[in-house]
Copies of this chain bind each other. A is one copy, B any other.
């Protein structure tokens, strides 16, 4: 009995994710999602619930599919400060070139949206995971004697995490790759012994 879905739910969610990422929740209408997915309102509401739930699902998907792989790569990179630099290299390339240039980061962007409790929790998780990944890399760096004396791994991890947010944010408003690179270099070279 019963019917099955006639569309790819994951593909539809990705389409919504890209819209929210590029234009923001407040500026993206359900009609935009309908147009981008080719689905009807009924299918959309049936599959995802209302707009808020769709947005939360899109943020979750972004975190799982786009953020987390980057974080895990950083956390398991045992090259110390080189791992940190490599992370920011990838980030700058992603934010300033290619398909998503100038979009910033969906999670960073979400900070300025009207607070939705479901999303707020994801933001906190995102922050904790990234900071932990930086802390991993910095712990290796410290063991290798790469860090100069006054640096606390804990504080430096928090600082680098914040720096990543700012890179994402500024990349959305026309900051050049060279300018962002200077900021990253300022941080990494300050950490060095």
Contact = CB atoms under 8 A, between A and B. Distances in A.
A158 B174 contact: no
Contact of A183 (B123, B159, B173, B179): B159
A169 B170 contact: no
Nearest to A113: B24
Contacts of A123: 173-174
A155 B186 contact: yes
Interface residues of A, number: 53
A162 interface: yes
A89 B59 CA distance: 32
A151 interface: yes
A190 B150 CA distance: 6
Contacts of A152: 185-186, 189
Q: Which of A26, A152, A179, A191: most chain B Cβ within 10 A? A: A26
A123 B156 CA distance: 27
Contacts of A156: 186, 190
A151 B178 CA distance: 17
A124 interface: yes
Interface stretch (A9-17, A50-58, A103-111): A103-111
Contacts of A190: 148, 150-151, 156, 159, 187, 190-191
Given A150-B190, A156-B190, A162-B166, 9 more contacts: A24-B26, A26-B26, A109-B112, A112-B112, A148-B148, A150-B189, A151-B189, A154-B186, A159-B183
Interface of A: 23-24, 26-27, 104, 108-115, 120, 123-124, 127, 148, 150-152, 154-167, 169-170, 172-175, 179-180, 182-187, 189-192
